[in-house]
Amino acid sequence: MRHVSSLIDRMRVEAPEMNRAERNVAEIILADIDGAARISTRDLAAQAHVSEPTVVRFARRMGCDGFTDFKIRLAQEYAIGRMYLAAERQQPADTGNEVAEHVYNATVQALSMAFAQHDPKAIEAAVDLLDKGRRVFCFGVGGSSANVATEAENRLFRLDVAASSTADPYQQRVMAATCGPDDVLLIFSVTGKPRSLLDSAEIARSQGAGVIAVTHPPSPLAELASVLVPLQAFDEEKFFYMPNRGRYGQLFLLDCIATLLGARRMKAVSKKLWRARATLIALHGSTEGQPIGD
């Protein structure tokens, strides 16, 4: 059999030689590649009328460590393919409609990849730390990560978390140095390599503080984290004129963390949130569907 480097092409080539159960899995995936990058092992097994171990065996047959690894690689390959298909026109999107379509596709791809690789246990472990933390320092550097760190402060303070954020490398190190065992760093980084973030994580860990890192799994920052929330944010420099898509994945995981934390704290913070709403109504009248605190 000829060597096939593409995961998608390999499924197409090998499907006729698979047993019926694995062929069913391949056919379900190939029929909706975008959807397969977001599906759970249980749901795929149900659709293919096979057992969950069969799905895992199929993923390993494709050269992956497991079904989560398979979905990450599938999402990456699908995103690359879509990007190169769009690139065939050779000219940047230069109309409102083209730009809207291009940005929409990039956003969908980024969210698909983030969902495909999300780790529920890591999200729960991160929320455990945040829920018990005395103070939470939200760090990021660069355009997207720094902005997401600021948004993390915005999301957490309304849940009665003593949260603050900074993108200043000096402040990050100083804040880390003031940490104790009851404090937490929440760090966002696409690459997991900025020096100030690594230093801050190391300093905080030396003081017994928890470090939650939303970052690339095989990175220096990931190795320093108490809790790693994995995010491989693929980007394609061919479209350098577009904003970094990695922030969509970061925001997705931040929303997962904040939503779960809010659910756990709802009884304790609900009265405070309604007071926040009442304060805003007193300021400029009823806003009906406006989110509480915005």
**230 near 122, Cβ under 8 Å?**
yes
The region of weakest confidence among 70-79, 84-93, 160-169 is 84-93
Residues comprising the chain, all counted: 294
pLDDT band at 84, cuts 50/70/90?
very low
Helix, strand, coil in percent for the chain, rounding step 5: 65, 10, 30
The top-scoring range by mean pLDDT among 17-26, 166-175, 243-252 is 166-175
Strand order in the sheet with 227-230: 163-166, 135-139, 183-189, 210-215, 227-230
The region of weakest confidence among 47-61, 162-176, 191-205, 233-247 is 233-247
Q: What tens digit of pLDDT does each residue of 119-136 get?
A: 889 999 999 999 999 999
The mean per-residue pLDDT over the stretch 30-51 comes to 90
230: left (phi over 0), alpha (psi -120 to 50) or beta: beta
- pLDDT at residue 93, as a whole number: 66
**112 near 34, Cβ under 8 Å?**
yes
What is the distance between the alpha carbons of residues 193 and 25, in angstroms, rounded to a whole number? 38
**208: enclosing H helix or E strand:** none
pLDDT exceeds cutoff 50 at 274: yes
The mean per-residue pLDDT over the stretch 41-57 comes to 93
Distance of CA 142 to the CA centre of its chain: 17
pLDDT band at 2, cuts 50/70/90?
very low
3-state secondary structure 118-172: CCHHHHHHHHHHHHHCCEEEEECCCHHHHHHHHHHHHHHHCCCCCEEEECCHHHH
The mean per-residue pLDDT over the stretch 165-179 comes to 96
The mean per-residue pLDDT over the stretch 104-124 comes to 83
**Residue type at 239?**
F
The mean per-residue pLDDT over the stretch 87-116 comes to 72
User: Token pair 């720094």 is at which residue?
Assistant: 146
Q: CA-based angle 38:149:198, to the nearest 5?
A: 95
Q: Which residue has the higher pLDDT, 289 or 259?
A: 259
Q: Which residue has the higher pLDDT, 247 or 140?
A: 140
What is the distance between the alpha carbons of residues 146 and 152, in angstroms, rounded to a whole number? 10
**Residue 215 in 3-state DSSP?**
strand
59-62 contacts at long range (C-beta below 8 A, 24 or more positions apart): 61/14, 61/18, 61/22, 62/7, 62/10, 62/11
The region of weakest confidence among 167-176, 187-196, 256-265, 284-293 is 284-293
Tokens describing residue 13: 């080539």
**Residue 212 in 3-state DSSP?**
strand
